[in-house]
Structure 1
Amino acid sequence: MRDHDADVIIAGAGMAGTTLALALASAGIRPLLVDPQPFDAQLAPTFDGRSSAIAYSSFRQWRAVGAGEALAPHAQRIEQILVTDGKTPGAAARAPSPFFLRFDSSEIADRSEGEPLGYLIENRQIRAALAQTAIEKGVEVRAPAGAAGLAVDAAGATVTLTDGSALSAPLVVSAEGRNGVLRKAAGIGDIGWGYGQSGVVATLKMEHPHQGVAHEYFLPSGPFAILPLTDNRASLVWTESTERGEALRRASPEAFHAHLMRRFGEFLGAVELAGPVFVYPLSLSLAERLVAPRLALIGDAAHGVHPIAGQGLNLGLKDAAALAEVVAEAMRNGEDIGAEATLERYARWRRFDNVTNALAFDGFVRLFSNDNPLLRLARGVGMAAVNRIAPARRFFMHEAGGGVGDLPKLLRGVAI
């Protein structure tokens, strides 16, 4: 039998990849992370200006793998979500018409065990906490050294790195993102399309307390969200056309602030930028397959979705939890963890959920980034109906919190 460098090589030490490494390590499996960027570079304020909405089930997973304590100081509880459809910023707070929707964590406290609707955490803080935990747990990391090639045979897989070295393992995982080398090397294509939109992202400092309330407005150009962060700050996620997004990125701070206030209103008092403005193109990308010989895809390597529902990272964390559970069970049973039968169990578990969510988010984009009067009326009536039907509200809250469906153990807070 060939001597391997690790049980599982994970290409991509981002949030999904490092979470998978911690999950595997918690089950006594030897992961090895490789990434073109060392952890220190990923923690720079200019590396990633986004924040992520984290489902309460995803946070349970982080607690289960030992990262919860490092993340807790940076995790803002989301207690309410106020959604409105219209052209008037601040409308959700005032509920001026029947066309609004309010979610409150108190309605699901019995099933969520007191968890909030979710947590809002800056990506750089997530990366820092996961990196700290990985180091504490002794996870091996090779960086800077990205994947450059992949070769597989009956005995295992060999990953060639950009520094010229090679590593072998029974199983390789691509957590490299949408344009990963390993997915292409395995001949896995993807389908998808752009939306002609960009997400304009910034961190804001608020004058009045946000009280853990997330505000989302569906405006003609697309969703506009103000999401609560710790220290009375908020994450701005502002969807605009690609052209207008670039114009906002180039705008002076004074001009940007003026445009922001016209959309945001003043119901939370004065607002000021607390950092740089970032602009990200928005598109859909779905891998045609989740697995290939001795290779599995997780996170954005498997599915890149529009941020309209704030679920992109949660899908990737669910991938990590499912794959870790399948691999741990296979290893306990003495199976080859990179065998086709093992990987197909993972693919069956995640395929339907990933595709249906991606297509649902795509439908939301087309429905809510639209100023057609009939569509506006239809979606407004739909929101009002959900707001008045308590079981429907609770279902959507549990779904957003990751509490629905065939959940991996880690998402239930159970060790593997």
Structure 2
Amino acid sequence: MVLVRSAARLSRAVAPRQAAISKRFASALASSASDVEVPRYDVLVVGGGIVGSALACQLKSNPVFKGKKVAVIETAAPAPAGPVEEDSPDLRVYTITPASQALLESAQVWDKMPESHKASFADMQVWDAMGDGFIRFNAEKAGRKSLGHVIESKVLVRALHDRMNELAADESDPEPLKLFCPAKLKHFRRPNDTSFLSEVTLEDGTRVAADLVVAADGANSIIRTLTALGTWGWDYDQQAVVATVKTDVASHTAWQRFFPTGPLALLPMRDGYSSIVWSCTQEMAQELTALSPEEFVERLNEALFAPANTPVPPEFPGLPVLTDLVKGVNAAVNTVMSAAALSDPFVSPPKPVEVVGRRFAFPLKMKHATSYVKPGVALIGDSAHTIHPLAGQGLNLGLADVQSLANLLVDGVKSGENLSSEYFLAQYEADRKRANVSMALAMDGFKRLFGPAPDAVGVARNVGMGTLNAVEPLKHQIMRYAMGL
């Protein structure tokens, strides 16, 4: 009788659990039955721009993802195949760090770009328009061949699309990459109580299900909005004016001069061209874009070569000891700066002589998603974060997201993980969120540091730049951080 009662108690205890399991199993079967005509993918990338395409290429270039189903949805028509036209450079360019280069090499994209269109730079010079402070970074001193490459958007996009087309036609892969391009998202459903899969419906009625949907659809991400992932950030009330210029001599140095209105960057490109990114007030941006080409070149040279407006060290009436102390510190720092300049002297940038093509301006803002993941969804690139462009790190952060998420997904496939699990995906967020927020806040801090400020702040800023230029180990650490190493 004791055994019977024990068995009865055990049966009553197990029954609810069995019922729950049966219910979930029945739900899964019902979902499977209803989705029988809907193709299911392991990873569905929404957005076939640079970051989304890079993720697709990186995953399908890994042997672990052979036989795994990966698809990309992109609204724009695919880039034309074949070599890049030898015309004037693209207005939009990217600074690619060594870490991003390594990712593109791993995805077998890097070698698809002509060497002539990958403009490497070995030096970088940053200087202040409101003082004599400057910093020079040199790749050789950091044990590197280059600090990075400046690559036109059309060149990088063409290489990525060529690689995706290869992967889509790969007969050695039982499940080659699937491209929905051009295609537009109409509806998105996240996993719910009746289905553990996400589902996307395209405007032509095509339905696609996936274990994991990766949002790579930009700063105004539809997937992020429909997933109810909020954002925080602010507008800078600034715009960046972008242009391409010819310079009097070719350069392998990236140049950046800081003004109270914002930084001006001159980035070396192929064939003696340079890319201009001039961050400034909205009123100034309207003025710069309205100038004639000749007037714009004149304003550009004025900005690059105008003498520094050196701030005056503050005085403290009634406190002569403190005034003398500040003057003494300033004199000592000037001595250090002069000594540092002997080994890393200031170099004048090349002179712009002609503006090529059109100019345009775009608004600057900082935006960051409150969370990068939800069950069955992950955000990468601009869908997760946008930052001030003063260091050219926006795309590199997105490609670092790609590397992190791809590594996690490969490990997950190896170990049989559920790719839609929020607990599993949280590892990606933990890896990238801190790095992205840190970079965003650092760029915001630089923007504010070099903005309008009292002379005392200007003096301190120049002291800091001069001191930093004299301390090689610290410069090396900054270079490694900027290169993503």
TM-score (norm 2): 0.76
Larger-gyration structure (1/2): 2
Q: 1:191 to 1:267 in 2, by over 3 A?
A: closer
| Distance change in 2, residues 1:105/1:183 (3 Å) | same
C-alpha distance in structure 2 between counterparts of 1:115 and 1:268, whole Å: 22
Does the 8 Å CA contact 1:149/1:182 hold for their aligned counterparts?
Answer: no
Q: Is 1:77–1:119's contact at 8 Å kept on the other side of the alignment? A: yes
Q: Which moved more, 1:252-261 or 1:8-17?
A: 252-261
1:124 aligned to which of 154, 171, 187: 154
Local SS of the residue matching 2:220: coil
**Corresponding residue for 1:250?**
290
- The answer on whether the counterparts of 1:148 and 1:182 sit within 8 Å (CA) in structure 2 is no
The residue number in structure 2 matching 1:184 is 225
Among 194, 202, 208, the residue aligned to 2:235: 194
Report the AA paired with residue 80 of structure 1. D
**Cα deviations by residue, 1:41-65 (Å, 9 ceiling, x for unpaired):** 9999999732111111110110111
Q: Separation in 1 of the partners of 2:456 and 2:265?
A: 23
Question: What is the letter of the counterpart of residue 203 of structure 1?
Answer: T
1:222–1:369 CA contact under 8 A, matched in 2: yes
Is the CA contact 1:56–1:115 (under 8 Å) kept in the aligned structure 2? no
Alignment equivalent of 2:75, drawn from 24, 36, 39: 36
Deviation at 1:268, TM superposition (A): 2.0
Match of 1:156 in 2: 197
1:6-405 to 2 correspondences below 5 Å: 6-27=41-62, 28=65, 29-40=68-79, 49-73=91-115, 74-86=117-129, 97=132, 99-109=133-143, 114-138=144-168, 139-153=177-191, 154-210=195-251, 212-265=252-305, 268-403=350-485
* Preserved CA contact (<8 Å) 2:212 2:420: yes
Shift of 1:244: 1.6
Contact 1:214 1:228 in 2 (8 A): yes
Amino acid of the structure 2 residue aligned with 1:148: K
Q: Distance in 2 between matches of 1:350 and 1:244?
A: 35
Q: Is the 8 A contact 1:148 1:181 kept in 2?
A: no
| Number of residue-to-residue matches in the alignment | 389
Do the aligned partners of residues 376 and 71 (structure 1) sit closer, same or farther apart at CA in structure 2, a change above 3 Å counting?
farther
Cα RMSD (Å): 2.2
Judge conservation of contact 1:11–1:146 (CA < 8 Å) in 2. Answer: no
**1:299, distance to aligned residue in structure 2 (A):** 0.3
The more displaced of 270-279 and 117-126 is 270-279
Deviations 1:261-303 (A, max 9, x none): 2213485245211221121110000011101120000000000
Tell me the alpha carbon deviations over residues 95-144 of structure 1, each in whole angstroms, 9 at most, x when there is no partner.
Answer: xx4x11000001111xxxx4411111112211111111111222322122
Q: Which amino acid aligns with 2:100?
A: S
Is the contact made by 1:204 and 1:234 (CA closer than 8 Å) also made in structure 2? yes
Q: 1:47 and 1:105, CA in 2 relative to 1: closer, same or farther beyond 3 A?
A: closer
State the alpha-carbon separation in 2 of the partners of residues 171 and 314 from structure 1.
23
C-alpha distance 47-283 of structure 1, shift in aligned 2 (>3 A): farther
> How far does residue 32 in structure 1 lie from its aligned partner after superposition?
1.1
Structure 2 runs not aligned, ≥5 long = 1-28, 169-176, 306-347
Does the 8 Å contact 2:387/2:440 carry over to 1? yes
Q: What amino acid does structure 2 have at the position aligned with 1:174?
A: A
Matched residue SS, 1:40: coil
Instruction: Give the Å deviation of 1:376.
Output: 1.9
Q: Which residue identity lines up with residue 179 of structure 2 in the other structure?
A: V
- Does the Cα contact within 8 Å between 1:8 and 1:170 map onto a contact in 2? yes
User: Contact conserved, 1:24 with 1:30, CA < 8 A, in 2?
Assistant: no
* Equivalent in the alignment of 2:345: none
**8 Å contact from structure 1 (residues 85, 376) kept in 2:** no
Paired with 1:205 and 1:231, the residues of 2 have a C-alpha distance of 9
> For 1:170, what is the secondary structure of its paired residue?
strand
**What's the CA shift string for 1:70-105, capped at 9, x where partnerless?**
1252211110001101159xxxxxxxx4x1100000
Distance 1:282 1:46 in 2: 26
Equivalent-residue separation in structure 1 for 2:145 and 2:381 (angstroms)? 24
Partner of 1:344, secondary structure, is helix
Identity within the alignment, %: 33
Contact 1:82–1:215 (CA under 8 A) maintained in structure 2: yes
Say whether the 8 Å CA contact 2:50–2:157 is kept in structure 1.
Answer: yes
Distance 1:252 1:162 in 2: 43
